[in-house]
């Protein structure tokens, strides 16, 4: 590979995170946020799959640890746009859904608390998506599949919550 001036950033300007002056490139901030969030989620899903395969379920403490790790990542991700905020909410929902991966015969000890937190996240996702769709960009008209998957996940959780035999 030919490197110009000892750096690959000259060949791939889209990979640079900052401008020559050192500030964040605004046109790439959403793409960089999506990359960082997806990288975290991929690592989390691989870990959860391995844990579920070996133990059959995931403990609340493990999910809480991943949620805490995500909170620290969330502080590092530049969420200066509505799209970035939507991505953060969608990722948070993906993590919180694991609170409900316990065996059916023994529910988690903090079921009501986890239920309320996840319910709040799902409402925020739907409100944010609707607000973005009302904006001039018409967010939902041009969204990729993962946006709709997140909205369907949120709506499904709300429907299950409304029809649950054990409301919190």
User: What tens digit of pLDDT does each residue of 15-50 get?
Assistant: 444 444 455 556 677 888 889 999 999 999 999 999
User: Coil, strand, or helix at residue 6?
Assistant: coil
pLDDT value for 106: 74
Report yes or no on 10 lying in a domain.
no
Report yes or no on 45 lying in a domain.
yes
Quote the number of domains for the chain. Answer: 1
Report yes or no on 4 lying in a domain.
no
Average pLDDT over residues 80-104: 87
Q: Are residues 118 and 157 in contact, defined by beta-carbon separation less than 8 angstroms?
A: yes
Report yes or no on 20 lying in a domain.
no
Report yes or no on 136 lying in a domain.
yes
Mean pLDDT for all residues in the chain:
80
- Would you say residue 167 has pLDDT above 80? no
Q: What is the pLDDT of residues 110-132, one digit of tens each?
A: 888 988 999 999 999 999 999 88
* pTM flag (> 0.85): no
Domain enclosing residue 134, as ranges:
27-162
């Amino acid at each position: 590979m030919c490197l110009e001036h000892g750096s690959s950033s000259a060949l791939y300007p889209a990979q640079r995170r900052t401008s020559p002056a050192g500030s964040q490139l605004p046109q790439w901030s959403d793409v960089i946020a999506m990359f960082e969030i997806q990288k975290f989620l991929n690592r989390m899903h691989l870990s959860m799959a391995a844990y579920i395969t070996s133990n059959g379920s995931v403990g609340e403490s493990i999910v809480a640890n991943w949620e805490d790790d995500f909170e620290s990542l969330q502080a590092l991700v530049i969420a200066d746009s509505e799209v970035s905020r939507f991505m953060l909410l969608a990722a948070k929902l993906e993590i919180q859904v694991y609170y409900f991966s316990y065996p059916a015969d023994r529910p988690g000890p903090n079921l009501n608390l986890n239920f309320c937190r996840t319910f709040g996240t799902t409402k925020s996702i739907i409100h944010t998506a609707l607000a973005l769709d009302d904006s001039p960009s018409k967010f939902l008209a041009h969204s990729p599949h993962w946006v709709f998957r997140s909205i369907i996940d949120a709506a499904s959780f709300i429907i299950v919550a409304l029809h649950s035999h054990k409301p919190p």
